[in-house]
Amino acid sequence: MSDSLVVQGGTPLSGTVAVGGAKNAALKHMVAALMAPGRHQIENVPEILDVEIMGRVLEHVGALCRRDGKTLTIDVPEHPIPEAPLELVRQMRASILVLGALLARTGEARVALPGGDDFGSRPIDFHIEGLEAMGATFDLRHGVLYGAAPDGLVGTDVFLEFPSVGATENLLLAAVLAKGVTTIGNAAREPELVDLAQYLGSMGAKIDGAGTSTIEIHGVEGLTAASHRTVPDRLEAGTYLVAAAMTAGTVTVSDCRPEHLRMELRKLTAAGCEITTSATSVTLTGPERPVALDISTLPYPGFHTDMHPQMVTLLSVAEGTSLVTENIYAGRFRYLGELNRMGAEIHADGQHVVIRGVTQLSGCEVDACDIRAGAALTIAALRAEGETVIRDAHHLDRGYDGWVPKLASLGADIRRV
Ligand code: UD1
């Protein structure tokens, strides 16, 4: 039986919490390490389950991973095994990135099709089309994608239909060792992608324009192993800020990059929160009752899809009716039923969520169905009257390093059973 979290609601959070390195950057760095043989060192790596799973993917490929606190040392062999097995890939979608990395390094890749959070369909057609334009061929047999580029990948112009983060990253990895110049148009602009480009840059890759919509990559013959420090986790930071807002508390989130949370901070301000920032911290005081507002999730620098469940939870107790439109993953609404069991009045229609604010939530037994849903339900529980039991807490272990101790240090009455 999986662990549960037991939360007694009603205590305003207060104090300071430090955020760690970004999950969505560290996982990509681990794959990027495969691009250069030798010893890599990645610092500020969160101690979460997804990093462990990615470590197993790397070990399958022939790399050795060692963790010392928040530092990960990865020894990458001269000739990686170009294969990622189903039992690992199905647990974590980020592993699809090995496709671009292994094709570039070895000219072949056998990758089981990915799983990950249950958000309905999460296609990889943009990844495949881009890699095909660079000269790779693909064949899907028995759930395994066989990729080949025996003569190496060749740089070209790729224009993405949507600024997909995963597709941009996969093409970036493929392009750094391709022959000639690759241009990725309509590229994702996320801070984690910029961080990945910086790490590849310290290995010797030639990348211009990361963080803008057009990335130009000049392929090089080979890369050398390097060290890198992972960018702070803007989603972890944002989650603690919403938790503070929900409990009408005052919390400082330190070791973060407020400029990566501009849209999220704007919306929290509109909800009635008082916010001050320094270069590396955000202090938020939550209102007694939030103000209703409308939000649309969009690619960066828009409001992040991975902050949607937390924000819907905050708006569930707002004064008035809010509308949240999910433009990235319309399938991520399973947690709404659980929030409604706690007394929220929310309904989804297509990609839209209508939230009629209620004055109070009440604790009961709920199921976390993915990482951010688990965070959202914990946030609801922190304000709810009475006790909430959040089952399937292992989902939180995938994305939040020290979720329970960090919340407890802010005064939350929370324990794991
Ligand atoms: C998403 C988030 C990213 C976050 C990551 C981990 C966005 C835009 N992306 O990235 O910030 O770090 O989850 O939680 O917020 N799509 C296709 N075909 C493809 C690839 C994507 O149709 O080949 C569609 C997806 O269905 C989705 C959209 O494009 O609607 C964005 O997908 P993408 O950015 O690739 O998602 P992730 O890489 O999972």
Catalogue the active-site residues: 117
SS3 413: strand
Same domain, 221 and 237: no
Same domain for 204 and 331? no
Identify the segments of the chain with pLDDT beneath 70. Answer: 1, 114-121
Question: Do residues 177 and 315 both lie within one domain?
Answer: no
User: Among positive and negative, which fits the CA dihedral 302, 306, 309, 313?
Assistant: negative
Q: What is the mean pLDDT of the chain?
A: 95
Shared domain for 38 and 170, answered yes or no, is yes
User: What's the CA-to-centroid distance between 164 and ligand 1, angstroms?
Assistant: 5
Closest CA to 293 of 251, 325, 341, 262: 325
Of 169, 196, 229, the one marking the end of a domain is: 229
The residue whose CA has the least distance to atom 31 of ligand 1 is: 164
Protein residue with its CA nearest to atom 35 in ligand 1: 164
Can you give the pLDDT at residue 137? 97
Mutate to test the pocket of ligand 1, among 92, 122, 303, 304 (most ligand atoms within 8 A of CB): 122
Residues 6+ apart with CB under 8 A from 123: none
Q: Tell which atom from ligand 1 comes closest to the C-alpha of 297.
A: 15
Give which of 50, 116, 110 is closest to 80, Cα–Cα. 110
- Considering the domain architecture, whether residues 242 and 207 belong to the same structural domain is answered as no
Ligand 1 closest atom vs CA 121 = 26
> Which residue ranges have their beta carbon within 6 Å of ligand 1?
24, 122-127, 162, 164-167, 190, 299, 304-306, 328-329
What's the gap in Å between 138 CA and the centre of ligand 1? 21
Q: Which residue, by CA, sits nearest to atom 33 of ligand 1?
A: 164
For CA atoms 168, 154, 182, 126, the dihedral sign is: negative
Cα–chain-centroid distance for residue 60? 23
pLDDT reported for residue 331: 81
- The CA distance from 160 to 137, in Å, is 18
Q: Which atom of ligand 1 is nearest to the CA of 304?
A: 15
- The reply to whether 163 and 303 lie within a common domain is no
Residues 137 and 210 grouped into a single domain: yes
Mutational pocket test of ligand 1: of 172, 328, 398, the residue with most ligand atoms within 8 Å of the beta carbon: 328
Which stretches of 177-220 are DSSP H helices? 191-202
Q: What is the pLDDT of residue 114?
A: 67
Same domain as 286, residue 190: no
Nearest CA to ligand 1 atom 3: 165
| Last-in-domain residue among 164, 199, 229 | 229
Q: Same domain for 155 and 181? A: yes
CATH of the domain at 13: 3.65.10.10
Residues 216 and 237 grouped into a single domain: no
Angstrom distance (rounded) from CA 408 to CA 244: 13
CA of 373 to the centre of ligand 1 (A): 17
Considering 211, 229, 247, which residue would you say is the last residue of a domain? Answer: 229
Q: Which domain holds residue 345?
A: 5-20+232-416
Residues 240 and 375 reside in one and the same domain: yes
Residues 61 and 199 in one domain: yes
State the total domains in the chain.
Answer: 2
